[in-house]
Structure 1
Amino acid sequence: MIVAFRTDASLDIGTGHVMRCLTLADALRERGAACRFICRAHPGNLIDLVRDRGHTVVDLPAASYDLPPASVTASAPAHARWLGTDWATDARQTANALADAPFDWIIVDHYALDARWEHLLRPACQRLMVIDDLADRPHDCDLLLDQNLGRNAGDYASQVPRDCTLLIGPRYALLRPEFAALRAQSLARREKPQFKRLLITMGGVDKDNATGQVLDALKDCALPAGCEITVVMGPHAPWLEKIKAQGHGMPWSTTVLTNVADMARLMTESDLVIGAAGSSSWERCCLALPSMILVLADNQRVIAHALQANGAARLAELSTLRRELSAFIQELTSIEATLTNVRTGAPAITDGLGALRVTAQIMEQRCQ
Structure 2
Amino acid sequence: MEIGSIYEIDPNTFSDAAAYDASVFTLKEIKKYNKIHTAFTGSGREAIALALKAITKNRPNIRKTALLPAYMCDSVFWPFERGGWELHFYHVDKQLEAEKENLFVQIENLNPGLLFIHPYYGSDTWKPLRPMLKTWQSEGICIMEDVTQSYYLADTEWNADYIIGSLRKWYPVPDGGFAVSNEPFPEEFCAGNRSFIETKLDLLTKKWNYFHTSCSPEEKQEQKKAFMAKNREMEEWLDHYEEISPLSKESMQILSGLKEDQYKNRRNENCRYLLQQTIGKTKFSPVFAKENTIESVNAPLYFPVYAENRDDLQKFLVSQGIYAPVLWPVGKENEKLLTQAEQKIYQQILALPIDQRYGLSEMQYIAQALIEYEGVKSPCSDVPCPLPQIQDTKSEVIAIRADANADVATGHIMRCITIAKQLQKKGKKVLFFTADEYPFELLTKNGMEYVCLHTPWNQMEEELPILCRELKKHGCWKLLADSYQVTVNYFDCLRKVCKIIYIDDCFTALYPVDLIVNYNAYHLRFPYEKAYKGKARLLLGTSYVPLREEFQLSACPSYKTTGTLKHVLISCGGGDVYNALYGILIKAVENRELSSCIFHVIIGSFNKNAAKLEALAKEHPDIMLHYNVSNMAELMGQCQIAVSAAGTMLFELCAMQVPTVFYVCADNQQYDSDFFANENRMLFSGDIRQNREACIDKILTNIILLLNDENMQQQMKRKLHEVTDGKGAERIAEEIVNL
What TM-score do the two structures reach when normalised by structure 2? 0.43
Q: Are the counterparts in 1 of residues 500 and 514 from structure 2 also a CA contact under 8 Å?
A: yes
Q: Are the counterparts in 2 of residues 193 and 271 from structure 1 also a CA contact under 8 Å?
A: no
Query: Does the alignment pair 1:263 with 2:263?
Result: no
Task: Report which of the two structures shows the higher radius of gyration computed on alpha carbons.
Answer: 2
Q: Aligned partners of 1:249, 1:223: CA distance in 2, in Å?
A: 19
Deviates more, 1:194-203 or 1:17-26: 194-203
Of 131, 136, 141 in structure 1, the residue corresponding to residue 508 of structure 2 is 136
Q: Which position in structure 2 is the counterpart of 1:68?
A: none
How far 1:227 sits from its partner (Å)?
2.5
Query: Does the alignment pair 1:92 with 2:485?
Result: no
Query: Does the alignment pair 1:114 with 2:487?
Result: yes
Of 576, 586, 596 in structure 2, the residue corresponding to residue 216 of structure 1 is 586
- Structure 1 residues 120 and 200: alpha-carbon distance in aligned structure 2, compared to 1, 3 A threshold: same
How far 1:343 sits from its partner (Å)?
3.3
Structure of higher RCO (CA pairs closer than 8 Å, 6+ residues apart) = 1
Specify the SS of the correspondent of 2:718: coil
Residue 28 of structure 1 aligns to which amino acid in structure 2? L
Over residues 130-156 of structure 1, what are the superposed CA-to-partner deviations in whole Å (9 max), with x where a residue is unaligned?
011000112111111011112128533
Q: Are the counterparts in 2 of residues 331 and 338 from structure 1 also a CA contact under 8 Å?
A: no
How far 1:193 sits from its partner (Å)?
12
Q: Are the counterparts in 2 of residues 193 and 336 from structure 1 also a CA contact under 8 Å?
A: no
How far 1:159 sits from its partner (Å)?
5.2
Deviates more, 1:336-345 or 1:355-364: 336-345
Residue 486 of structure 2 aligns to which amino acid in structure 1? L
Specify the SS of the correspondent of 1:151: helix
Q: Which position in structure 2 is the counterpart of 1:241?
A: 611
Q: Are the counterparts in 2 of residues 193 and 335 from structure 1 also a CA contact under 8 Å?
A: no
- Structure 1 residues 4 and 323: alpha-carbon distance in aligned structure 2, compared to 1, 3 A threshold: closer
Q: Aligned partners of 2:518, 2:628: CA distance in 1, in Å?
A: 27
Q: Which position in structure 2 is the counterpart of 1:204?
A: 574
Q: Aligned partners of 2:443, 2:615: CA distance in 1, in Å?
A: 30
Q: Which position in structure 2 is the counterpart of 1:54?
A: 447
Q: Which position in structure 1 is the counterpart of 2:478?
A: 105
Q: Aligned partners of 1:53, 1:325: CA distance in 2, in Å?
A: 33
Residue 439 of structure 2 aligns to which amino acid in structure 1? L
Aligned length: 339
Q: Aligned partners of 1:225, 1:54: CA distance in 2, in Å?
A: 41
- Structure 1 residues 330 and 267: alpha-carbon distance in aligned structure 2, compared to 1, 3 A threshold: closer
How far 1:97 sits from its partner (Å)?
1.4
Of 285, 296, 299 in structure 1, the residue corresponding to residue 654 of structure 2 is 285
5+ residue gaps in structure 1?
A: 64-82
Q: Are the counterparts in 1 of residues 471 and 477 from structure 2 also a CA contact under 8 Å?
A: no
Over residues 23-75 of structure 1, what are the superposed CA-to-partner deviations in whole Å (9 max), with x where a residue is unaligned?
11111001100011110116xx2123213322221101143xxxxxxxxxxxx
What TM-score do the two structures reach when normalised by structure 1? 0.84
How far 1:225 sits from its partner (Å)?
4.4
How far 1:20 sits from its partner (Å)?
0.7
Q: Aligned partners of 2:409, 2:458: CA distance in 1, in Å?
A: 14
- Structure 1 residues 216 and 363: alpha-carbon distance in aligned structure 2, compared to 1, 3 A threshold: same
Q: Are the counterparts in 2 of residues 291 and 343 from structure 1 also a CA contact under 8 Å?
A: no
Q: Which position in structure 2 is the counterpart of 1:77?
A: none
- Structure 1 residues 183 and 268: alpha-carbon distance in aligned structure 2, compared to 1, 3 A threshold: farther
5 Å-filtered alignment, 1:14-25, equals 14-25=409-420
Q: Aligned partners of 1:180, 1:333: CA distance in 2, in Å?
A: 26
Deviates more, 1:50-59 or 1:103-112: 50-59
Query: Does the alignment pair 1:302 with 2:695?
Result: no
Identity %: 24
Specify the SS of the correspondent of 2:573: coil
- Structure 1 residues 245 and 174: alpha-carbon distance in aligned structure 2, compared to 1, 3 A threshold: same
Residue 305 of structure 1 aligns to which amino acid in structure 2? D
How far 1:333 sits from its partner (Å)?
6.1
Over residues 95-145 of structure 1, what are the superposed CA-to-partner deviations in whole Å (9 max), with x where a residue is unaligned?
1211214324111111111331112112322x2100110001121111110
- Structure 1 residues 119 and 342: alpha-carbon distance in aligned structure 2, compared to 1, 3 A threshold: same
Query: Does the alignment pair 1:357 with 2:731?
Result: yes
Q: Aligned partners of 1:163, 1:153: CA distance in 2, in Å?
A: 20
5+ residue gaps in structure 2?
A: 1-395
Q: Aligned partners of 1:154, 1:305: CA distance in 2, in Å?
A: 14
Q: Which position in structure 1 is the counterpart of 2:321?
A: none
Query: Does the alignment pair 1:340 with 2:735?
Result: no
